[in-house]
């Protein structure tokens, strides 16, 4: 995906979110660190510009909620979770850049429940690469691709909210 494709995918995801939720009332958007936060910020900005509403936004660190954190690193880098709103009874849109096994999303849902009980949790992912280990599917997806297990998808986004690319690496 080139920069223009990413922008179109984010706009499409945002419009589908608005359609499914009948607007932005009781909606909140939470991005999963690191790249999920950048995707979430773009979706959030587009939704606010379209609805002229203030939509709560947060960033979520899931490192200590992962069931495989000890396999990844003995010293995980923990970031600050920033959820400064009440998640109870919201339609919470959880955003990540790539969905693969589903383990990150499971950990994110566990983390969210420590902050309250949303009415719904909906998942938006810029790229769905398949290969689930858990029965978790995104509600909104920018691109679906099938790649080999040894390949990686690298989403490169800037914090400025423009540009970027999605690269498949061997």
Give the pLDDT of residue 140: 98
Written as one string, the DSSP assignment of 136-167 is ---SEEEEE----TT-EEEEE--TTSS--EEE
Cα four-point dihedral sign 61, 72, 140, 3: positive
Q: What is the pTM of this model?
A: 0.88
44 SS3 class: helix
14 SS3 class: helix
Give the pLDDT of residue 78: 62
Q: Encoding tokens for residue 153?
A: 């998808």
Write out the CATH class of domain 3-69+78-169. Answer: alpha beta
- Whole-Å CA distances, 45 to 95, 132, 154: 13, 30, 23
Give the pLDDT of residue 155: 81
169 SS3 class: strand
Q: Encoding tokens for residue 32?
A: 């999963």
Convert the pLDDT of each residue in 99-141 to its tens digit. 999 999 999 999 999 999 999 999 999 999 998 999 999 999 9
Give the pLDDT of residue 66: 60
DSSP code of residue 82: B
Residue of 163, 156, 161 lying closest to 40 (CA atoms): 161
- Are the beta carbons of 154 and 126 closer than 8 angstroms? no
Beta bridge partners of 144: 128
Give the pLDDT of residue 163: 67
Burial class (CB in 10 A: 0-12, 13-18, 19+), 102: middle
| pLDDT by 10s per residue, the chain, length 170 | 888 899 999 999 999 999 999 999 999 999 999 889 999 999 999 999 999 999 999 999 998 886 655 455 555 566 789 999 999 999 999 999 999 999 999 999 999 999 999 999 999 999 999 989 999 999 999 999 887 777 777 787 766 666 677 777 76
Residue labelled with tokens 């950990």: 107
């Amino acid at each position: 995906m080139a920069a223009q494709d990413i922008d179109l995918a984010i706009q499409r995801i945002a419009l589908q979110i608005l359609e499914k939720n009948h607007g932005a009332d009781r909606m909140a958007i939470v991005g999963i660190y690191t790249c999920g936060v950048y995707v979430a910020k773009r979706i959030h900005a587009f939704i606010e510009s379209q609805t002229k509403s203030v939509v709560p936004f947060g960033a979520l660190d899931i490192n200590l909620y992962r069931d495989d954190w000890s396999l990844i690193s003995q010293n995980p880098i923990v970031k600050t979770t920033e959820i400064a709103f009440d998640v109870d009874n919201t339609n919470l849109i959880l955003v990540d850049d790539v969905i693969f096994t589903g383990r990150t999303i499971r950990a994110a849902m566990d983390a969210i429940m420590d902050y309250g009980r949303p009415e719904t949790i909906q998942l938006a992912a810029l790229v769905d690469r398949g290969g689930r280990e858990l029965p978790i599917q995104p509600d909104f997806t920018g691109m679906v691709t099938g790649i080999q297990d040894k390949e990686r998808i690298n989403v490169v986004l800037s914090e400025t909210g423009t540009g970027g690319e999605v690269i498949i690496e061997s």
